[in-house]
Amino acid sequence: MSQIPSIPGGDGAAAETRPAPALSPELVAALAKAGADGALRTLARPLYWLYERWLDRSLDRTVMPRHIGLILDGNRRFARRNGLDVRHGHQFGVRKLKTFLAWCLEFGVKHVTLFVFSTENFKRAPAEVQYLLDLFVRESAQLLDDLRLDTEKVRVKIIGQRDRLPPKVLAASDALELSTAAHKGTLLTIALAYGGREEIVDAVKGLLTEAAGKGASLASVAEALTAEQLSAHLYTAGQPDPDFIIRTSGEQRLSGFLLWQAAYSELYFCDALWPKFRRIDFLRALRDYQQRERRFGG
């Protein structure tokens, strides 16, 4: 059995040697793996840096998506896998959102739409819903102080069913929109209390209400209705449809995100949970986009 080395005693004599505590084979294996993983991460860091630089240089800055949509998924799973409270997962997710916006600005993306809170999210535990809405209010105030909004002239727009949001969230939304209304740079659209089906229903209601106000009959509206007319009543009216939609966490579905607008969007699904989404993942997504041939249904 291995021995702990003797250490000098206070009187100059060697202290009594004691047997080292036995370690289970499972613990030894776990420690060995952890050490190996740590060593591999250390060794791989320069390689990742070189790979990131190569990816960056391989991208054509003239063939970037004009509009990127993001379904940020995986905050709760990230928290659980790391033994954290779910709230901490959402906090990490917010940090990553700020980084993601910086990446989009770096590559000249003119429209960024973030799916941050769906109408289905209201079905979660009341405490979590309240926390998420409070988090939006807090982060909105911080975003107002973010110098990038001014230096990059970022304009913020909030879309969704506003009538389902509490007054303090509406006030925070209005403050963001009003303070950036004159900006002509990238448009940052935040989908809050948003559902794709609800958006289409609201668009139809808006179109019919407008037609009724002009004295048009239902029959005449139905006969003359076009896709362009309906698009003009969507929350995103006036914006280009998303060229590229990224979803994290490995899930491969839209979950109601921009259902009408995504008809010809290129979709990209990344296995990384949202808080773990790296710049390398973003660059890979852009490379994938540039390697596709967009057909728009043709």
pLDDT recorded at residue 265: 98
Lowest mean pLDDT among 44-53, 86-95, 188-197, 228-237: 44-53
Q: Percentage of residues in the chain with pLDDT exceeding 90? A: 79
pLDDT of 184-216, one tens digit each? 999 999 999 999 999 999 999 999 999 999 999
pLDDT recorded at residue 48: 82
Mean pLDDT for the chain overall: 89
Residues in a beta bridge with 14: 8
Cβ atoms of 111 and 265 closer than 8 Å? no
Q: Tell me yes or no: is domain 61-290 CATH 1.10.10.10.
A: no
Mean local confidence (pLDDT), 109-130:
97
The torsion angles phi and psi of 15, rounded to 5 degrees, stand at -75, 155
Mean local confidence (pLDDT), 102-116:
98
pLDDT recorded at residue 9: 39
Q: Where are the domains of the chain?
A: 22-58, 61-290
pLDDT of 227-269, one tens digit each? 999 999 999 999 999 999 999 999 999 999 999 999 999 999 9
Cβ atoms of 64 and 151 closer than 8 Å? no
**pTM, rounded to two decimals:** 0.84
pLDDT at 275 over 80: yes
How far is residue 220 CA from its own chain's centroid?
42
Task: Return the HEC string of the chain.
Answer: CCECCCCECCCCCECCCCECCCCCHHHHHHHHHHHHHHHHHHHHHHHHHHHHHHHHHHCCCCCCCCEEEEECCCHHHHHHHCCCCHHHHHHHHHHHHHHHHHHHHHCCCCEEEEEEEEHHHHHCCHHHHHHHHHHHHHHHHHHHCCHHHHHCCCEEEEECCHHHCCHHHHHHHHHHHHHHCCCCCCEEEEEEEECHHHHHHHHHHHHHHHHHHCCCCHHHHHHHCCHHHHHCCCCCCCCCCCCEEEECCCCCCCCCCCCCHHHHCEEEECCCCHHHCCHHHHHHHHHHHHCCCCCCCC
The torsion angles phi and psi of 34, rounded to 5 degrees, stand at -60, -45
d(CA 194, CA 266): 21
**67-71/187-194 β-pairing:** unpaired
Confidence of residue 47 (pLDDT cuts 50, 70, 90): confident
User: What token pair was written down for 90?
Assistant: 């959402």
Enumerate residues 6+ apart whose C-beta is below 8 A from 106. Answer: none
d(CA 174, CA 166): 12
The residues that are catalytic are 73, 121
Which is higher by pLDDT, 105 or 34? 105
Lowest mean pLDDT among 149-153, 212-216, 231-235, 293-297: 293-297
pLDDT of 59-81, one tens digit each? 999 999 999 999 999 999 999 99
pLDDT recorded at residue 97: 96
Give, in order, the Cα–Cα distances in Å from 32 to each of 11, 21, 26, 38: 38, 17, 10, 10
d(CA 95, CA 174): 22
Cβ atoms of 233 and 207 closer than 8 Å? yes
pLDDT recorded at residue 43: 66
Which is higher by pLDDT, 25 or 291? 291
pLDDT at 38 over 90: no
pLDDT recorded at residue 172: 98
User: What token pair was written down for 253?
Assistant: 């579905």
Q: Percentage of residues in the chain with pLDDT exceeding 70? A: 86
